[in-house]
Structure 1
Amino acid sequence: MRDSMSNDKRRSLITYNHITYFLYVISYFTAGLLWIVPIVMNYAKRHDASGSWLATHFDWQIKTFWYSIVWFVIGIILITFALGGFGVSVLADSGNIAIGSILLAGLGLLIMTFTFIWHLYRIIRGWIALTDGRPVP
């Protein structure tokens, strides 16, 4: 990848990326309230990094955000359906529906847990690569 940007601009974008990675990590301690801030920041400066190794970090964070949202929502939907099925099983006095609902809720929780770990892994891996001055795959 050809990199023809000035050193000042490169340093500025590196600092900017450090801030966005930091905000992603901090968002875990704010119940996700800060999660939207770094994605907006990434979209705002993404074009400034095009053609450089820093562009991979913007893309990495954007993809991490959207894939995490999609999988987390899938987990929430599964848990919601499971809780509805569990309510029906109580009203219908059906043990089979209750077991299926518990398994479905477990699957939803497993997906959400995996998504949480995957998201954290991607943020840490990207931040380490940025610190080392390397692009991310």
Structure 2
Amino acid sequence: MISDDNRRSLVTYNHITYLLYVVSYFTAGLLWIVPIVMNYAKRHDADGSWLATHFDWQIKTFWYSIVFFAIGALLITFALGGLGVSVMADSGNLAIGSILLTGLGLLIMTFTFIWHLYRIVRGWVALTDSRPVP
């Protein structure tokens, strides 16, 4: 069990990490690394409390977002390479496939962006209400 002072400190700490995730949207994601490092640094201080769910929630949100965003980016990169080949080979079918694959990659990246923002907002609201996140 954690003391009241430690709990208040960890609540403030979590508010800061949630804020940094939101601010990272305005830095093209360059600030993403700061809150994840902060979460790993303090995660064990919250063991056994409802605050531990917030550290885990933010860590999972970060890693799943990275994985899905990378999948989307790889699909786009692969598709744009295929588009280049189709132009060189004058192949309309390959170009259509590349455009569809690019669209899929963009869809995955858009979904990831919205999902990430949703999780940050949902977690921050739960923290403000002094509730754990699932």
Q: TM-score, normalised on structure 1?
A: 0.97
Counterpart Cα distance in 2 of 1:80 and 1:129: 37
Select which of 84, 87, 98 maps to 2:84.
Answer: 87
2:97 corresponds to 1:100: yes
Instruction: Give me the CA root mean square deviation.
Output: 0.3
Q: TM-score, normalised on structure 2?
A: 1.00
- 1:53-132 equivalences under 5 Å are 53-132=50-129
Letter in 2 for 1:93: D
Q: Residues 81-125 of structure 1, C-alpha deviation per residue, up to 9 Å, x if partnerless? A: 000000000000000000000000000000000000000000000
Q: Residues 13-71 of structure 1, C-alpha deviation per residue, up to 9 Å, x if partnerless? A: 00000000000000000111110000000000000000000000000000000000000
Where has structure 1 moved over 4 Å in runs of 4 or more?
none
Tell me what 1:135 maps to: 132
Q: How many residues align?
A: 134
Letter in 2 for 1:29: F
Counterpart Cα distance in 2 of 1:31 and 1:82: 23
Counterpart Cα distance in 2 of 1:83 and 1:33: 25
Structure 2: gaps spanning 5 or more residues:
none
Letter in 2 for 1:34: L
Counterpart Cα distance in 2 of 1:112 and 1:54: 29
Q: SS of 1:28's equivalent?
A: helix
Aligned-residue identity in percent = 86
How far the C-alpha of 1:5 sits from its partner, in A, is 1.1
Counterpart Cα distance in 2 of 1:23 and 1:12: 17
Letter in 1 for 2:115: W
Tell me what 2:33 maps to: 36
Counterpart Cα distance in 2 of 1:77 and 1:26: 25
Structure 1: gaps spanning 5 or more residues:
none
More helix by share: 2
